[in-house]
Amino acid sequence: MTPAVAAAKRAGVEFRLHEYEGIELGEGDYAAAVATAVGRPAEQLFKTLVASVDGRLEVFVVPADRQLDLRAVGKRTTLASQADAERATGYVVGGISPLGQRRRLPTTIDRSALRWETILVSAGKRGLQIELAPNDLVRLTGANVAVVAAA
C-alpha cells in the first residue's frame, strides 16, 4: 500500500484503484498513455506536477491532455527538477501523487476537475491510479481550485 492509498483509507473516502503496465516514462505523452491504459478519457485523468513558484515548491494537478500554464501561476514559475520533485514528495516521477506526500506542499487543482463525478490521479507509484471524487481530493490535500491548465 502506498502512502497515497493509506491517506485515502484513513480519511474514509470512497476510491477505486486502477492498475496498468507496459508504459515507460519518456516514451511520448506518458499521462495520455496512462489514460488510455486505464480506459478513461485524458481529460478525466490528472497528472501531478511540482513547480517552483518564486523559489517555493508547489503541487499542481492538471488534466493529462493539458499543460500547466506557468504564466497563470506566477511570473517566476518553473517546473521543478526531477530530483527536487522526488525529494520533496517522496515519490518517483511518473508516480507522484497529490496524496500522502513526504512533505505536504501547497496544492492547486485545475478547476476542470470539478466537471467530473470522479477523477484519477497517481496512487503513489507508476502503474497505479486512484479514482476518487474531486471534492474529496481537494479536501484531503487542502488544495486551492483555480484555472491553471493551458491547452
Q: Which residues pair with 68 in a beta bridge?
A: 149
What Å distances lie between residue 34 and 79, 107, 118, CA to CA? 21, 22, 16
Average pLDDT over residues 115-140: 96
User: Is residue 148 within 8 Å of residue 69, measured between CB atoms?
Assistant: yes
Whole-angstrom distance, CA of residue 106 vs CA of residue 129: 21
Give the pLDDT confidence of 100-126 residue by residue, as tens digits: 999 899 999 999 999 999 999 999 998
The model's confidence at residue 27, banded by pLDDT at 50, 70 and 90, is low
Q: Which fold has domain 3-150?
A: YbaK protein (3.90.960)
Give the pLDDT confidence of 37-89 residue by residue, as tens digits: 999 999 999 999 999 999 999 999 999 999 999 988 988 999 999 999 999 99
The model's confidence at residue 28, banded by pLDDT at 50, 70 and 90, is low
Flag whether pLDDT at 14 surpasses 90. yes
Better pLDDT: 28 or 75: 75
The model's confidence at residue 136, banded by pLDDT at 50, 70 and 90, is very high
* pLDDT in the model for residue 26: 63
Better pLDDT: 24 or 5: 5
> What's the chain's length in residues?
151
